[in-house]
Amino acid sequence: MAGIRGRSERAKWWRSRGEDYEAGWMVLSKVSMKFSRTIGALAMGAVLSVMPGWCAPVQNIHATTLTQPTAKQMRAIRKMLAGQKPQAKHAAKPRVLLPAKFDGWLRGGVHAAKPPAADAAALNEFGFERGVQAGYSRGGDRVAVLVWKFPDATGAYGTFTMLRTAGMEAVRIGEPEKKTVGRKKPAKKGKAAEREPNTATAREVRKLADKLTKMNNASRGAIQGIGTRRSEIIVAGAQVYAEVLEHYRLPGFRYSEFGMRDGMLSQMLAEEDARTSAHQVFERDRWAGVLELARRYGTDPKQMEPVRQHAAQLFHDLAAVHGLPEEYQLWLEAAAVLRDVGKFLNYQGYHRHAQYIVANSELFGFTREQRMVTSGIARYLGKSRPAAEGRTMRDVPPTEQEWVRRAVVLLRLAVGLNQDRASDVLKVKAHVYPKRVILELYPGRTGAELELWSLRKEADYFREVFRRDLLVTLP
């Protein structure tokens, strides 16, 4: 086959090769255009030698032998003609989305994660590539991390800032830890530390207050956001803020970019339509206020969470018995979380102290009437019972007093199901009949004798309020 010259002879040879003729001829034609017209014959090896560089200019190529291409070479030719670049021998490994460790958290098992079927179409529209899920542990804490990879993360930060809550810890994840050699360089002095958005430090407030004080009324009124109506009173307000921060040695405060009217309209919309995002944000912030109040008075989350869960379960399972309005579930759960805040003042009579704290605290999203209802539910967990002439019930609207009595019974049952067993939570199943209610307990590894005794003590009060017998059994 040596010394083949001319297009006709080359064509005859490629026709003898069957189905590979068309592909090979196109490649030879394209490559031949790159080189000098004086080339008499090309070797297939020379063709393949320029393919990894995608036909980069090659000079002084002379070949006298045309050999038969191998199957591997023909696959590479077809891919090039189809617009595909031949794969390298060692393809780059995909980037690890979840690291083996970060900030003291150690990764457990890793497995691929698929998006929910209901959201798959929307996620694929935005270029969903793959998902990974893993569990991490640090000390006694555990957390599940789910990562979805997209080619473009536009809008992700805005979503995070909308969903973030106070107290969130900023931790870098998904980036390999850098190994340092030798001594670590100290941080530069004066480097601005990362902080939450919409915050002002005490030093900044003092500097701004002094600056506004030195300005005249016209200059202050020309500042955007102050105007002529606020220019005369802004100095007093700024000085008060600066003095309060300095007197109590506070690092700063958080502010909102919106005004009072924006908040009122958002709250009105949230209360009217539960489907709006404003409603979801409102409910999340309202519950965050409950948890913050519990934290402020030293309540143990491991003790309050099982009681809250059982209170919510009993609210649903015994709905046909108590007949409470739907909004009472929130107030019942809030009372379950805040029932022990009175221990901050005194263990003796802590139920009375809890009622006082809840009733007189500023709880975001709770009206005064709702605080009275919540505090009333948390009050009667001891020997006393709700009575219309009592000091606590006098602050509860008359139309709500019967609902409070029924909610008190549910909370007493939830407390009875958790007798200092935060590490071994009981499971309970309720059976409702026309004249009786049966609570079936499924004990853990430490048994359920104490809970059984505590719940049976509530049978008389349960019958007094709901006119049904309460039976507590074990399977």
Rounded average pLDDT over 390-413: 92
User: Strand 101-102 and strand 105-112: pairing?
Assistant: antiparallel
Q: Are 430 and 311 in contact (CB under 8 A)?
A: no
pLDDT at 460 over 90: yes
Q: What is the pLDDT of residues 341-382, one digit of tens each?
A: 999 988 888 889 999 999 999 888 899 999 999 999 999 988
Output b/e per residue, 310-335; b: 16+ Cβ within 10 A: bbbbbbebbeebbebeeebbbbbbbb
Half-sphere exposure of 204 (CA within 13 A, CB side): 8
Q: What is the rounded CA–CA span in Å between residue 288 and residue 166? A: 8
pLDDT band at 20 (very low <50, low <70, confident <90, very high): very low
pLDDT band at 32 (very low <50, low <70, confident <90, very high): very low
Least confident span in 72-81, 164-173, 234-243: 164-173
pLDDT at 324 over 90: yes
User: Strand 199-201 and strand 141-149: pairing?
Assistant: unpaired
Q: What is the rounded CA–CA span in Å between residue 387 and residue 262? A: 41
Classify the C-alpha dihedral 101-104-109-112 as positive or negative: negative
Q: What is the rounded CA–CA span in Å between residue 344 and residue 296? A: 9
Q: What is the rounded CA–CA span in Å between residue 303 and residue 461? A: 24
Classify the C-alpha dihedral 294-300-306-310 as positive or negative: negative
Q: What is the rounded CA–CA span in Å between residue 438 and residue 430? A: 6
Residues of the chain with pLDDT > 90, as a percent, come to: 33
Count Cβ atoms below 10 Å from residue 115 Cβ, excluding itself. Answer: 15
- Which is higher by pLDDT, 90 or 464? 464
* Mean pLDDT of the chain, nearest integer: 75
Instruction: State the greatest distance between any 2 C-alpha atoms of the chain, in Å, as a whole number.
Output: 117
Q: Residue 446 has what pLDDT?
A: 77
Q: Any idea what the Cα angle at residue 123 is, between residues 119 and 125, rounded to 5°?
A: 125
Kindly state the DSSP code that residue 19 receives in the 8-state scheme: G
Q: Are 409 and 321 in contact (CB under 8 A)?
A: no
Q: Residue 391 has what pLDDT?
A: 84
Secondary element (H or E) of residue 220: helix 217-221
Q: Are 142 and 136 in contact (CB under 8 A)?
A: yes
Token pair belonging to 214? 């030195």
Count Cβ atoms below 10 Å from residue 162 Cβ, excluding itself. Answer: 10
Q: What is the pTM of this model?
A: 0.51
- Which is higher by pLDDT, 257 or 219? 219
Q: What is the rounded CA–CA span in Å between residue 133 and residue 113? A: 6
Secondary element (H or E) of residue 301: helix 301-317
Rounded average pLDDT over 279-288: 85
Q: Which residues contact 416 (CB under 8 A, 6 or more apart)?
A: 451, 454, 455, 457, 458
Q: What is the rounded CA–CA span in Å between residue 376 and residue 407? A: 9
pLDDT at 21 over 70: no
**Nearest one of 336, 280, 296 to 165, comparing CA atoms:** 280
The class level of CATH for 296-422 reads mainly alpha
Kindly state the DSSP code that residue 184 receives in the 8-state scheme: P
Give the three-class secondary structure for 194.
coil
Alpha-carbon distances, residue 228 vs 215, 224, 259, 271 (angstroms): 13, 10, 18, 35
Q: Are 246 and 202 in contact (CB under 8 A)?
A: yes
Length, in residues, of the chain: 475
Rounded average pLDDT over 59-66: 38
pLDDT at 38 over 50: no
Q: What is the rounded CA–CA span in Å between residue 9 and residue 369? A: 99
Look-up of token digits 């007094």: 464
Q: Any idea what the Cα angle at residue 460 is, between residues 459 and 461, rounded to 5°?
A: 95
Q: Residue 80 has what pLDDT?
A: 66
pLDDT at 29 over 60: no
Secondary element (H or E) of residue 404: helix 401-416
